[in-house]
């Protein structure tokens, strides 16, 4: 019976060097040949995963941590924080000299230039400094926003804005989402759209932004290189991404 396999990108399909290990490529090819559908579930925006979608011939994905969901090349769900709330968040951060970066499906835009925290964090994704437009969100749909603050600052954002969700992905960078926004919700939208039983879905992840989907889907697999919280909620823990983690997981699950 056909299964739907959702993979996180960074730390799950991509290793530290942003390369897909050969064993992972082999495993995905076998899984496809066995009739299973390969999909992506990532915090990245659609424009940031074009290469991997093309390389793996994938047409279904949950992007921007569930805020932009595509099934078979059709957008089936989008969500975002309201412009009013976002204005307050930007003003709060600006008073602290903390910038934001806006993301839609096509590009990312920074509110300020020459901010070290933006350059450092985006460099880990191998992305250059974005173009600058502090009012971009007022005229364009923004599906996810990045804030740049340390863990102490994050607590203050949480206290000030209890109706948003904050997920840290770098020592100086966090994603902010609508309350209830997550990869789990994005996967649920696809599940409902195609009317597939939850037991026919498998999810693979490693980070804090994978916790919800690893908790929601019974067939959940955390990477050996994953965050402790991801491993704690997953049903299974496989090997490190560079130690045949995906191949070994699919083999253990008898999907290949």
pLDDT tens for each residue of 181-214: 999 999 999 999 999 999 999 999 999 999 999 9
Catalytic residue, chosen from 8, 175, 206, 210, is: 8
Q: Beta strand 100-103 with 108-110: parallel, antiparallel or unpaired?
A: antiparallel
For 34-47, how does the pLDDT look when each residue is reduced to its tens digit (9 = 90+)? 999 999 999 999 99
For 165-186, how does the pLDDT look when each residue is reduced to its tens digit (9 = 90+)? 998 999 999 999 998 899 999 9
pLDDT of amino acid 126: 85
Q: Reply yes or no on whether 22 is catalytic.
A: no
For 108-163, how does the pLDDT look when each residue is reduced to its tens digit (9 = 90+)? 999 999 999 999 999 988 889 999 999 999 999 999 999 999 999 999 999 999 99
Q: Using an 8 Å Cβ cutoff, are 166 and 149 in contact?
A: no
Q: How many other C-beta atoms can be found within 10 angstroms of the C-beta atom of residue 193? A: 15
For 8-34, how does the pLDDT look when each residue is reduced to its tens digit (9 = 90+)? 999 999 999 999 999 999 999 999 999
Beta sheet of 61-63, edge-to-edge order? 74-78, 68-71, 61-63, 37-41, 4-7, 201-205, 219-222, 236-237
**Local structure of 139: helix, strand or coil:** helix
**Cβ-count burial of 112 within 10 angstroms (0-12 exposed, 13-18 middle, 19+ buried)?**
middle
* CB neighbour list of residue 122: distance below 8 Å, 6 or more residues apart: 101, 128, 129, 130
């Amino acid at each position: 019976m056909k299964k739907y396999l959702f993979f996180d990108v960074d730390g799950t399909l991509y290793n530290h060097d942003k390369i897909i290990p050969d064993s992972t490529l082999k495993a995905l090819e076998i899984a496809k040949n066995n009739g299973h559908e390969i999909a992506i579930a990532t915090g990245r925006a659609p424009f940031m995963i074009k290469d991997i979608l093309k390389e793996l011939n994938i047409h279904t994905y949950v992007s921007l941590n569930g805020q932009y969901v595509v099934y078979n090349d059709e957008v089936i769900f989008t969500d975002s924080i309201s412009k009013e709330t976002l204005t307050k968040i930007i003003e709060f951060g600006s008073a602290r000299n903390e910038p934001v970066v806006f993301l839609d499906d096509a590009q990312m835009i920074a509110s300020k230039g020459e901010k070290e925290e933006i350059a450092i964090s985006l460099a880990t994704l191998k992305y250059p400094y974005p173009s600058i437009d502090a009012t971009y969100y007022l005229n364009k749909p923004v599906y996810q926003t990045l804030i740049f603050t340390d863990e102490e600052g994050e607590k203050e954002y949480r206290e000030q804005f209890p109706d948003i969700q904050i997920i840290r992905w770098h020592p100086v960078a966090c994603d902010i989402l609508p309350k209830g926004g997550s990869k789990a919700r994005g996967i649920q939208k696809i599940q409902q759209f195609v009317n597939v039983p939850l037991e026919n879905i498998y999810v693979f992840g490693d980070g804090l932004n994978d916790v919800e989907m690893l908790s929601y889907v019974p067939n959940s697999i955390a990477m050996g290189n994953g965050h402790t919280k991801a491993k704690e909620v997953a049903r299974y823990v496989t090997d490190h991404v560079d130690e045949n983690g995906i191949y070994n997981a699919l083999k253990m699950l008898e999907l290949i």
